[in-house]
Amino acid sequence: MSPASEPSFTLKQGQYLAFIYAYTQLNGRSPAEADLQRFFRVTPPSVHQMVLTLERAGLIRRKPGVARSIQLLVEPEALPVLQNQTVKTSVLRY
């Protein structure tokens, strides 16, 4: 892939793409939206909106009505490193 044709995505989108890639490599199938929701600790509508955004941007493809059908359209080399998700808490640390 030449530099001029490298995909363009935001930091957050890159993390979703990196998770989809890592999950698929580890599990042999693509993640469900619920898997994305658990990892990123966001609401179901937030995950669904991101999936639609990634699809509209041409970064992923899905088959309508088929579960776990997310297919990554970005070369693995173009993906960022998947960052650990921090837990937000109001509990004070000692």
Which residues lie closer than 8 Å to 46 by C-beta, 6 or more apart?
37, 40
CA separation for the pair 21, 81 (Å, rounded):
11
Using CB atoms within 10 Å of the CB of residue 39, give its burial: 0 to 12 exposed, 13 to 18 middle, 19+ buried.
Answer: middle
Ordered domains of the chain (ranges, CATH) = 9-74 (1.10.10.10)
37-93 per-position pLDDT tens digit: 999 999 999 999 999 999 999 999 999 899 999 999 999 999 999 998 765 555 565
pLDDT at residue 1, rounded to an integer: 45
Q: Is the pLDDT confidence value at 12 over 50?
A: yes
CA distances 44 to 3, 34, 39, Å, are 34, 7, 12
